Amino acid sequence: MTDYLAELNDAQRRAVTHRDGPLLVVAGAGAGKTKTITHRILHLIKSGVSPDAILAITFTNKAAKEMLHRVTDLLAREPELRDERVRPFLSTFHALGVHLLREHGRVLNLSRHFSIADRDDSLTLIKTALQDLGYDPKSIEPRGLLNAISREKGRLITVAHYTEHLEQNPFGQVVAEVWRHYEQALVTTQALDFDDLILKTVLLLRDHPEILSVVQARWQYIHIDEYQDTNVAQYQLARLLAGARENICAVGDLDQSIYSWRGADFKNLLRFEHDFPRAVIVTLEENYRSTQMILEAANRVIVKNVNRLEKTLYTKNGRGEKLTLITALDEREEAGLIAGLAKRIIDQGGAPEQIAVLYRANFQSRALEEAMLHAGVPYRVLGVRFFERQEVKDLLAYLKVALNPQDFISRKRIINVPPRGLGKVTVAKVLANDVASLPAKTQTKVEVFDAILTDIRAKALVEKPSDTVRYTLEHSGLGESLRQGGSDDLERLENLRELVTLSLAYDGEPGETGITRLLTEAALVSDQDAMTNNKQAGAAVSLMTVHAAKGLEFNQVFVTGLEQDLFPHRRLFENAGNGEEIDTEEERRLFYVALTRARQKLYLAYAETRTIFGRTRVNIPSDFLLDLDDTLVEPLGEEIMKYD
């Protein structure tokens, strides 16, 4: 038997040993919040709570899998729990929604095999709606409409409510019309978009008390990670799950709230004490990641924010090096200096995968990529997802249609992949269920396609997921078609074989359950999951936005583009939705997140001039740099060779 409590500091131990009633854990960056949550789960189980009465929710598959791995390891260390067959339910918000909707969705007239429409699918439906309604897609931005609909769903607004309370303005009218059309298409397709996975789950539990009672009886101890990142719908879902018992543990950090642009409301964390007056509050301030020098810089920056819960990070890791300030003539020199420093770190034995270059806006990656190539530094740009590759989406579409024949989005995608000689008119008639009017020869082609889907369905319902994926690759004709192509097609075939390999992980749940979980997790994969699972990534420097870096950590971190109007970003001040003060504070929180990604060494870079959208502008250093004096920061030494 291990003394698992001895592994914790005093604050962590208070959080872990608090059993019943609401608990708020204010967890600073690198302060061991995952360790605290997992040890708390172990403590609950050792205290007599059944593992399947415990629920823990976070935001990314990566975080959920890390939590599951740690809990499994902790339980394996305890002899009396080693053979425990039941495990806590550890999930993302969206995956939890899928689980509950597949289990209880019949009351919402949802098929158990409903499809999950990804963003591309949703955009396709929005464009179709615009065309059907007679709007010019070139004059109305489909992404803007989808963002507006997504924002409303995140606020728990349905299309009926939106239409009833519609403000009389042209854009709102278009949103209402397109949304109604879009929603009907989702219903016809038996599909839900990402926002529906939370919205529909809240409506399911709120409007069906008998189902809510079942769910609350099952999960009696609730843990919500990254509580500051919850939107209205996620917040309400957490409240419903907590129920009258109020055995809810919320873990979060206002200083790392950086997602207001996608509906996150940090006030959810601030109102926790009001929602749960009996709440116990524990603050985790000891950082296990960074040096004291890095933490002093981070503390100096974030203390200027008004909307926060007071805390000061500290560490026993040692003082460490000062931060290095890189001043460059332009973005080309900035990128060259960074590439040169990265190369030096690697040449001196540093691991490329432990180096990250962070930027505020995606366009900044171009100069950095060119410099890395020139310097011969291996790199990867976060955001190229395995599951977004065309050929991977094609094969998954076969599986989706096989299980959900009403999924006309996926059906349209693959009806001519590989080519079957079916023209646009034929496809339109097939999707309209008007096959009878087609010529006999064409009808035969359609019947062959339908027979392929029927065969795949028969396999999917009983076989191991990996066998089903392998069978689909060949039976669909995708494998043979790609083998007949050129080198690019052979690379695509390798990606599909990798999908077969990946599906082996789901063979523990044979048949319908395993293949459904594969489709669900493929649909819900995040940027960070993509980076973690990318087999081609290898040992490479990571280039990514600061937003994408949240939750990650590296030995050496470069924060680039620290110029006024770029970081902090001017756009937020021009379009301040909640007032300029809030937006300014979010930019400061974003800089704080960037600083606290580093374990050993931080480099801060800015360019005196930068060309953006074809115009060169003269910059002044970011206000954030004014918070850091020469006790924390030193300029880059002249011994560093300039980029040529």
Could you list the active site residues? 33-34, 225-226, 256, 597
- Return the bridge partners of 380, or none: 542
Q: From residue 644, how far is each of 338, 339, 551 by CA, in Å? A: 13, 11, 35
Structure tokens at 531: 């980076």
Q: From residue 28, how far is each of 204, 253, 600, 623 by CA, in Å? A: 34, 6, 18, 23
- DSSP code at position 434: -
Q: What is the DSSP string of 259-276?
A: -GGGT--THHHHTHHHH-
C-beta atoms surrounding 141 within 10 Å: 12
How far is Cα of residue 535 from the mean position of the Cα atoms in its chain?
Answer: 19
Token look-up 């089903």 returns 468
Is omega for the bond preceding 568 within 30 degrees of 0, making it cis? yes
Structure tokens at 592: 């704080």
- Strand, helix or coil at 57? strand
- Strand, helix or coil at 558? strand
End-to-end CA distance of the chain: 60
Alpha-carbon span 463 to 475, nearest angstrom: 15
> HSE of 379 in the Cβ direction (CA atoms, 13 Å)?
27
C-beta atoms surrounding 334 within 10 Å: 28
Q: From residue 492, how far is each of 391, 457, 529 by CA, in Å? A: 6, 24, 20
| CB neighbour class for 203 (10 Å; exposed up to 12, middle 13-18, buried from 19) | middle
Best CA proximity match to 398, nearest among 424, 383, 381, 418: 418
How far is Cα of residue 115 from the mean position of the Cα atoms in its chain?
Answer: 19
Q: What is the DSSP string of 464-506?
A: -HHHHHHHHHHHTSHHHHHHTS-HHHHHHHHHHHHHHHHHGGG
- DSSP code at position 433: T
Structure tokens at 430: 């097939």
- Strand, helix or coil at 205? helix
Per-residue burial over 470-491, b if 16 or more Cβ lie within 10 Å, else e, is bbbbebbebbebbeeeeeeeee
Helices of type H across 166-314: 170-189, 194-207, 209-218, 232-242, 267-270, 272-275, 292-302
Per-residue burial over 26-60, b if 16 or more Cβ lie within 10 Å, else e, is bbbbbbbbbbbbbbbbbbbbbeebebebbbbbbbb
Q: Per residue, what are the HEC states of 94-126? A: HHHHHHHHHHHHHHHCCCCCCEEECHHHHHHHH
